[in-house]
Amino acid sequence: MTSGAPLTGRGDGSPLAPDGLDATVVLLRHGESEWIREGRFQGQAEAPLSALGRRQAALAGERLARPHASPALPVPGGLPREIVHSPLGRAADTARAVALAMADLRTGGEADAAGPPLPVLRPEPGLLEIGQGVWEGVTADEIGRRWPAEIAGWRRDPLAMHAPGGESVAEVDARVRPALARVLDELGRDYPRGTTDRPQVHGYSGAGQPAAQPWSVLVAHDGVFKVVMLALLDLPLSKFWSFSLGLTGISVVEIRGGRPVLRAHNWTGHLAPIEDELEREIADRRSRSGAM
């Protein structure tokens, strides 16, 4: 069920990252949706954020608006150039929460109103979630009953099997690469080219991003982000199941002189207030019941 040879770079023989690019890309998965709460496959169907998902998105927005608050995220200084998001509502609403947090920081007097402009909020069709065909809207339990061979094949070898009527991983890769190329080209615009001929091991002076290095945020979905990570890191599609993002999980890929470096993966520390509330609720229920 695959088609064509595996793509590399931009799919036309040129590298995905422009030569000498110094930039940082932040990946942010959307918050919980109503269908995730119900255990349904989503794909490219619309499923709005749940109440919990809206809280997660707001907390992620606050985290990215203040990325250098302790514990600091490994991103450059200043604001991102773009917040690029999947057009699906759950991703678009999460992206707007990030933009709103950055705007609130600006108007709250913590950022210079005459400083750099707020990031562009841009939908990108190439970041749509993997199309899941007839599985969209169906619970995982029901899929297991109705399509046992197909779902088992998808989980074992996603290059050989995908949802009936859905997209193959190769088809997703073919649309992800041009989308990433647009993001990286924008990051490289009007910024000096870098080199790998500088310290590469963190902890040593000179390693890491310069404060003025450009960065952008991508807001999308777990499935498509698996493909994005493989494309950015130039890994084969057979490694599809090697990457996963929790709800509003944050990953950071630095492009250093044109070479990708994974700086952080699936940071979810901003969700601590929600997790603390849950722990208090559990402890309170145990206390009332007398359970140990």
Host H or E run for residue 93: helix 89-107
162 is catalytic: no
Give the closest residue to 187 by CA, choosing from 170, 219, 204, 212: 212
Give the closest residue to 21 by CA, choosing from 191, 235, 229: 191
C-alpha 232: how far from its chain's center?
12
Q: Quick one: tokens of 143?
A: 């899929």
Q: Examine residue 80 and say whether the peptide bond preceding it is cis (omega within 30 degrees of 0).
A: no
Do 88 and 44 contact (CB within 8 A), yes or no? yes
C-alpha 140: how far from its chain's center?
23
Longest CA–CA separation in the chain, Å? 66
- How far apart, in Å, do the first and last CA atoms of the chain sit? 52
Do 130 and 43 contact (CB within 8 A), yes or no? yes
C-alpha span between 51 and 136 (Å, rounded): 21
129 is catalytic: yes
Q: Quick one: tokens of 67?
A: 């990325």
Whose tokens are 């940082």? That residue is 24
C-alpha span between 202 and 208 (Å, rounded): 7
Write down the catalytic residue from 62, 129, 150, 171: 129
C-alpha span between 164 and 168 (Å, rounded): 10
Which runs of E-coded beta strand occur in the chain?
23-29, 82-85, 120-123, 215-220, 250-256, 259-267
**Residues acting as catalytic residues:** 30, 129
